[in-house]
Structure 1
Amino acid sequence: MECCGLLTAQKEPVPLKSIEVELEVKDHVATVVSTLNYENKEDKPLEAVFVFPLPGDAAVCHFSAQIGQTKIVAEVKEKQKAHEEFDDALSSGQHAFLFEESEQSPDIFTLSVGSLPPGESASVRLEYVTELAVQADDGLRFCLPAVLNPRYEPQGSECAGVQVTSVLASLVPYSLSISVRVSSPRPISKVESSCSLEPLQYVNTEQTQAAVKLAAGHKFDRDVELLVYYRDAHKPTAVVEAGQPSAKPGSLMGDPVLMLSLYPEFPQSVMSSLTSRGEFILLLDRSGSMGCPMSNGKQQETRIASARDTLLLLLKSLPMGCYFNIYSFGSSFENIFLKSVEYSEQNLEEALKKVEAMQANLGGTEILEPIKHIYSQPCIPNQPRQLFVFTDGEVSNTKEVIDLVKKNSGSHRCFSFGIGEGASSALINGLAKEGGGHAQFITGADRMQPKVMQSLRFALQPAVEDISVMWDLPKGMSVTVLSPTITTIFQGQRSLIYAQLSGQSSKAAEGGVTVKYSLAGCPSENKIVFSLKPAEDTGLTVHRLGARCLIRSLEMDKRDGEGQHDEGVKGKVVELSVQSGVSSSFTAFIAVNKGNNEPIQGPLMRRAIPTPRVYSPMCGGSMPSPGYCLSGMYPMKPMAYCMGLKTFLAEGHVQKKKRRFGPLTPPCTPSLDQTVERQCASFAPLRAGSVLRDSWQVMADCGQTLQSAEFEDCDDICLDKDFNDEVTEPKQQPPRDPLLQLVSLQKASGCWLLDPALAAAVGKTNEEVENTKPSAVNQEVWATILALIWLHGFKMDAQEEWEILAMKAVSWLRAQNAPSMAECVVAANTLLGFSVQTDVLGL
């Protein structure tokens, strides 16, 4: 075929031309309207299939299509019925549109457009609402996922997931435009983004309304992240939304729905003393994709390198008296200790040595098995379990993993960290939500360390116990809570409650809710009073978010022994989804233009719309062209893919015997992690028949394509020893960050030793440091004060990273009850050239 217009990497025309997004942020809720514009420039009718990501907690509530002057509004139907109706429409030549959520992961959706006649244009309008997450710096985060890296299929479930067609971000053949409107009762301070924005424009003099646009030419190399900042942002709020007039009274859509935002404030006396108990289990992803750079800039550190630095900070910040262990996983998993051990200098040093040696070399992303193993270990009495999960989140069995965390939520809290572009929001948010913890995303130029330390502060807060919610409503009214029961509360973290209000009351009436809990053995409560008069101009946003919350809870409800939903639960989800118009894993949006009955002229061509991915050769691997599975692949170092087989053959790294390779078999697309999942220390041979004889894009990232290549093969095609050395030889390490250098010298107890390494870390000679020590002080006391003065003098901009380990150092100093503490502070200030006061240090 002679191709024209926009092309995929496989030289097929792409009917999707552009995506236009209108984002409206009201306080901490976002409404997103995406319009996808299609045009068929081919001479045959098309079915265009687009698999793309959305926020995992989004409530998709509207789907419609426009062809010429004809607008078709979709209905929500049970998924099987929707598929049958779609197939029937295609076979009869009708325009049809199908939009559905993946059953494996709630942040992946498929949009099918068919049949689009030659020369015809169509636009598809998709609307969803979502809550904005609160960040460590009090900003509200919205993320429009633009990157969908192929998801790893766990062993035993290959080809079961949604099939994703992807190309490098630079090759995406359609454009993206985004316009944003922000409004709030409080003034808007600023709007920031990981992507280039046009200047923020205030719409009114009070600065409570503003508009901004994404700068033209987005490269699809990252998700579009927006951070919205309000003045005096986080106050408890309550919004009551009127029901839909056409809906049946007593139903979810017919009754008013309340959205309650709580920001509990704990007493300063409690917050100033962090707990010294806990079992801290750190679970680190070491799959092949963790070798990717943190962002797409040049000479960026890799995800695994950033994770190693973060684990150093985290381990040094743990309190004496706790227990800990470190697991890492890929195709298999490893743990440093057989069981969690007490936090001591010896155990800390052993752990840090092994962390320093960790590489992204364990293959695939089998996250389920290590979590199962962790839960199989008995909890330590009086040491609350805290699980920290670090992953780039590119797995397909998301719901299975989250189900497991929920089943064990009573025994631990789970803090999750999504690393890099394209991490699954459903997985990261789901782990934290069901595990009663906190989720963080590290993308673009973000530093992992401050975000992880914020979560550690949450984990070190005294556990909130005996949480109860009490309602105070006028006589004749009742409440049905739509949200899951609150099981955890953290200082500075928002808690959302959705509730259906039934019955009648005076419009002037007020309601109230009181959250009671026990904190460090002391009873506490937070109360908020709200008007029952419905807010104006809210549409059905609150109802849809409440419905989505209830749908998610039901979807997570008990399943049978094979992981299948009870038919009664499934029926409730379908009923609620159809009633509210909000998508679920059991329903789909279906739109058919029944007025179009012209028969299809010629065969219906299927076109898969490619999504962007951000893998590069630096990730340590790639994947074959979409539509094929590697069959019979034996272990091979990931650099093999990066160089490409053509280069291997040309440079003599492969030993050959005569026999033809057989073709690969469809239909699934392996991810990067699957491609390199069975790496090994010794280079085992490739099995005959494992490489495609016909056209195979071995390495799209490198731009190397082998076309119609017929390779000579045998049972022992191997990499030679020279190539092994080339791959495994470590590159020259860049100079270590001075902060991390100082942190690495701190002892488990919190003190530093007076030695040449410390002197070098603070930028002085060993003689300078020893000669300025006050004579009456112990060496460790002097060294520890010197380190604290350096931190306060040089690294105040990174205080959130070292604050907890500094608190540990101050506690150690107090326990020494050393004389001449003030004299030490003066001497350290003089040596380093600062004027840090004793009270600033906490002494």
Structure 2
Amino acid sequence: MINSVAPLPPDECEPVPGAGLGALATERGNLPLESVDVTAEVSGLVAGVTVTQCFRNPFDVPLEATYVFPLPDRAAVTAFRMEADGHVVEGVLKERGQARADYDRALTEGRRAAIAEEDRPDVFTIRAGNLVPGERVTVRLTLTSPLPYEDGEATFRFPLVVAPRYIPGAPLDGEQAGDGWAADTDAVPDASRVTPPVLLPGFPSPVRLSLAVAVDPAGLRLREVRSSLHVVVHEGSTVRLAPGERLDRDFVLRLSFDASTALSLVPDADADADAGTGGQGGTFALAVVPEPAPPAAAPKDVVLVLDRSGSMTGWKMVAARRAAARIVDTLTAGDRFAVIAFDDVVEQPGSLGEGLAVATDRNRYRAVEYLARLEARGGTEMLRALERAAALLGDGARERVLVLVTDGQVGDEDRILERAGTGLAGVRVHTVGIDRAVNAGFLGRLAGLGAGRCELVESEDRLDEAMEHIHHRIGAPLVTGLALTGDGLDVVPGSTGRLGSLYPGVPLTVTGRYRGAPSGALVLRGTDAGGRPWERRVAGTRADNPAVRPIWARSRLRDLEDRYAAGDRSLEEEIVSTSLEHGVLCRFTAFVAVDTRVVAEGGPEHRVIQPVEPPSGWEGPAAAPMMLTAMSAPAPVSAPRPAAPGAPPAFGGAGAFPEPAGGAFPASGLPGAPLPGEAVPGDRFPGDAFPDAERVSVPRPPLRGRSAVRPAGSAPAGAEPAGAQDALRTQLTEELRRLREIESLPSAERLRRLSDLGSRLAALAVFLGGHAELEALARELTSAGPAADADALWRRAVQLLEALSGPKGRRPFWKR
């Protein structure tokens, strides 16, 4: 294969003294994002946050700047504005396709515009277009976020960088969804939107960062405030980031509080206008603090899954091995366990056999000895590891627990949740996220499937505390089978989502909607560890807290989006209407701000995607000849050499993509065959294993007349992505096949098979976060007695599964 790349003129690209290898400067300037300012006000267990991003156009032509950045995964984004040349334009929340059309039209007409979109629960993209030469444009996001509270401590975690993610799957042909270093694949059809370019280590800090958190206990007793990763300055009740900090790791602030059981009833400000509330209604927030007494330990089956991929190099691998060993040490002789390590391959220690081993002292020693020898390498084929774990845990009657230790840096989150989730029905899933820029949104969702705990470890100092929490949760929960009913309070059915279980030291928090007056109580019922009925009644108190409604809306949208990702495409209209009604951004909507003034002709002539910092704690590549070459004159780009699938990308500065000389990053940085499209000096070609590579590799310098030819991709143009979107349909199609095979069996045998189907559909509905039709059919099938009409039940099952597994023709929302 021959690639032709136009070189940069030497006078436009000179090394920056002392800036580090690969860092470049041009006489037009450097990067468009000048500063990020975060101001937060914590009141009790809720944080209100304003994020201000300032962009400057250093070029002599109109510019469009793109920035991919993280936000807290449970935060509700409720407002967006653009400020330029003394004008303030408030953003409007619209359906995503309509917002994009408005943005594109404004740019074509020469008007300034900005758009904010959600790509993952914790990954967002802002584009600001038609910035005129020398101009500064500020965009501002307003969000509300709940603070997770466990074992007497609340955590305010604000992520500051999107780390590189492993992108599996076959490439998709046609237009890419974004501009990252990886191309879209059938497993991650929007991968090019979640993989921003990465700066070389040593690049001068391109962005000024300021962050301040004002803490108001709001009636709670505040004992301690501590920051774990950044240097901070205390100014009264405000914690402020020290100057000079970089956007390369999460900001983590821990607050020691004493919480209590409470129910807040918050009427809607626009209750009279709310449809379906009878002219009055609102949102409630319930917090139940459990008793401290732990339940008696019961024998259990535990599978430990450890990520040993390339992104786990350095302190993360050391911490992961320690965490895994701590989990093994908590097991007793009555337990059975297995250890799985994965990168591009999935393996188990041969000394323990292929199945579950009894947790004897000898077997636990063998497991710890095996863990001590593990080193980071290769890609992140997490799905295969979770499927192996699900097969090992099976359908036994014992308590089943899965513990995943990883940084979570994968791009196919939806596919993993959808495919692994069904197999893990009935399994308690705990996740331990080890990174300074952890993929918290995905790990929280995965733990939510099994009503487990998600523990985030940003440093080795935090590890012991985190593993103590996990140790307590591996035991049985205090209360299971929770159900919520109103006592004088009319709760809107389906508004609370899944309740999960009640664990020692972990308050249960539930938000939902109610109709009518803000008065009455809620009654929580379940079964305790001894099998006895458990009940707690909490009286409501009227409150004036505007944060409760958007927090509920965000939680509701996440539940709906997870079910959509699992294959229920009928939810799109409900997702959009919920987002627009409550004014909370989601993946199906976008905020767009359009100026009325014309400032350019024909739209932006230059486009730049803002590169992000290499995450702190990730071991960068060693110096290599290609890095030195890039500083003097760009070399022709060649096809990447083979590497372990899923290797993290090589870092680079503006126009420089280093070739690592071993260590954490394999030679090519991006595995797989190249895809068609445009190449520039220093770029890695998007490959069949990294189809969105162009969105997540290092930044591209301004070039003119560049061109390249790449081999054609394997997927037909415009093909509907497979993987996560089709797996539910595939499962239901398989159930349909089984149904048709039993049509001629005797009634008694058909009823038995239909009852089995009902149990599988019930588990699937649980995984989806609730599905009224599947749940109704499951109840009917499992409760049918020997005298039931087998023919009628069979026909109803076939009719529903045909409807749910039928073809869907709507274009994916991220490409509209």
- Regarding TM over 0.5, the answer is yes
In 2, Cα distance between equivalents of 1:420 and 1:610: 20
Q: 1:811: which partner in 2?
A: none
Give distance in 1, aligned partners of 2:697 and 2:591. Answer: 37
Distance in 1, Cα, partners of 2:681 & 2:149: 36
Q: Name the CA distance, whole Å, in 1 between partners of 2:343 and 2:288.
A: 39
Aligned counterpart for 1:577 among listed residues 555, 576, 579? 579
User: What does residue 148 of structure 1 align with?
Assistant: 162
Contact 2:201 2:620 in 1 (8 A): no
Partner in structure 2 of residue 496 of structure 1: 509
Q: Which amino acid is 1:159 matched to?
A: A
> Does the 8 Å CA contact 1:279/1:322 hold for their aligned counterparts?
yes
Return the match for 2:45 from 28, 31, 34: 28
Matched, 1:227 2:240: no
Partner of 2:802: none
Which residue of 351, 366, 369 maps to 1:353?
369
* Aligned-partner Cα distance in 2 for 1:310–1:621: 28
Q: Which residue of 1 aligns with 2:198?
A: 166
Q: Given residue 107 of structure 1, which amino acid in structure 2 is its aligned partner? A: D
Following superposition, the deviation at residue 461 of structure 1 comes to 3.2
Structure showing greater relative contact order (alpha-carbon pairs closer than 8 Å, 6 or more residues apart): 2
Shift in alpha-carbon separation, 1:579–1:330, aligned structure 2, 3 A:
same
Does the C-alpha gap of structure 1 residues 608 and 251 become closer, same or farther in structure 2, counting only changes over 3 Å? farther
Partner residue, 2:92: 75
Tell which structure's C-alpha radius of gyration is larger.
1
Q: Is the 8 A contact 2:111 2:598 kept in 1?
A: yes
Match of 1:194 among 216, 228, 231: 228
Q: 1:258 aligns with which of 278, 284, 288?
A: 284
- Structure 2 CA distance, aligned partners of 1:186 and 1:647? 51
Q: Secondary structure at the match of 1:613?
A: coil
Distance 1:488 1:20 in 2: 38
Q: Displacement, 1:483? A: 2.7
Change (3 A) 1:489 1:636: closer
Aligned pair count? Answer: 633
- Contact 1:242–1:257, Cα closer than 8 Å, also in 2: yes
- Paired with 2:58 and 2:74, the residues of 1 have a C-alpha distance of 36
Cα distance in 1 for residues equivalent to 2:682 and 2:144: 32
Structure 1 residues 280 and 641, CA gap change in structure 2 (3 angstroms): same
Change beyond 3 A, Cα 1:669–1:542: farther
- SS of corresponding position for 2:196: coil
- What code does the residue aligned with 1:166 have? V
Alignment pair present for 1:473 and 2:488: yes
What letter matches 1:238 in structure 2? L
Cα distance in 2 for residues equivalent to 1:670 and 1:280: 46
Distance, in Å, in 2 between the alignment partners of 1:433 and 1:639 is 27
Unaligned stretches of 5+ residues in structure 1 = 203-209, 293-301, 655-661, 679-696, 701-707, 709-843
Following superposition, the deviation at residue 388 of structure 1 comes to: 0.4
Written as runs of structure 1 = structure 2, the 5 A alignment for 1:583-602 is 583-593=585-595, 595-600=596-601
Matches within 5 A, 1:101-140: 101-102=118-119, 105-136=120-151, 138-140=152-154
Tell whether the 8 Å contact from 2:107 to 2:603 is kept in structure 1 after alignment.
Answer: no
Shift of 1:459: 1.4
Instruction: Pick closer, same or farther for the CA change 1:671–1:100 going to 2, 3 Å.
Output: farther
1: CA distance between counterparts of 2:231 and 2:617? 26
Q: Which residue of 1 aligns with 2:607?
A: 606
The sequence identity of aligned pairs, in percent, is 23
Inter-CA distance 99–669: structure 2 relative to 1 (3 Å threshold): farther
Tell me how far apart the structure 1 counterparts of residues 563 and 72 of structure 2 sit (CA, whole Å): 21
Q: For residue 516 of structure 1, what is the aligned residue in structure 2? A: 526
Contact 2:113 2:128 in 1 (8 A): yes
Deviation at 1:115, TM superposition (A): 0.9
Q: What is the deviation of 1:15? A: 2.1
Aligned partner of 2:297 in structure 1 is 275
Change (3 A) 1:353 1:327: same
Quote the offset at 1:663 in angstroms: 12
Structure 1 residue 398: deviation in Å? Answer: 1.5
Q: Tell me which residue corresponds to 1:176.
A: 209
Task: Specify the code of the residue in structure 2 equivalent to 1:141.
Answer: T
1:194 partner letter: S
Question: What are the equivalent positions in structure 2 for 1:439-588 lying under 5 Å apart?
Answer: 439-462=454-477, 464-473=479-488, 477-504=490-517, 509-531=519-541, 533=542, 535-536=543-544, 538-539=545-546, 541-557=547-563, 564-566=567-569, 568-588=570-590
Q: C-alpha displacement at 1:669, in angstroms?
A: 13
Deviation at 1:572, TM superposition (A): 0.7
Listed as ranges, the matches of 1:791-802 within 5 Å are: none
The 1:699/1:242 distance shift into structure 2, 3 A limit, reads closer
Separation (CA, whole Å) in 2 of partners of 1:97 and 1:57:
23
**1:312-323 pair list within 5 angstroms:** 312-323=325-336
What value does the CA root-mean-square deviation take over the aligned residues?
Answer: 4.0
**648 and 618 in structure 1: CA distance in 2 versus 1, 3 angstrom threshold:** closer
Maintained 8 Å contact 1:150/1:671: no
2:598 is paired with a residue whose SS is: coil
Deviations 1:414-471 (A, max 9, x none): 1001111111011111111222100111113534233123212111135633322232
Task: Kindly state the Cα deviation for residue 25 of structure 1 after the two structures are TM-superposed.
Answer: 0.7
Shift of 1:373: 2.5
The equivalent residue for 1:788 is: none
Q: Contact (CA 8 Å) 1:140, 1:227: kept in 2 or not?
A: yes
Q: Offset at 1:218? A: 1.1
**TM-fit CA distance, 1:616:** 7.0
- Looking at structure 1, the residues matched to 648 and 155 of structure 2 have their Cα atoms a distance apart, in angstroms, of 36
Deviation of 1:144 after TM superposition, in Å, equals 1.1
Equivalent residue for 1:64, pick from 77, 81, 84:
81
Change (3 A) 1:671 1:584: farther
Confirm or deny that 1:342 pairs with 2:369: no
* TM-score, structure 1 normalization: 0.68
Structure 2, gaps ≥5 residues long: 1-10, 172-181, 185-190, 668-673, 691-695, 700-705, 707-816
* Shift in Å, 1:482: 2.3
Q: Aligned pair in 2 of structure 1 residues 175, 197: CA closer, same or farther (>3 Å)? A: same
Q: What's the secondary structure of 1:555's corresponding residue? A: helix
Task: Render the CA deviation track for 1:658-715: whole Å, top value 9, x for unaligned.
Answer: xxxx99975799999x99x99xxxxxxxxxxxxxxxxxx9999xxxxxxx9xxxxxxx
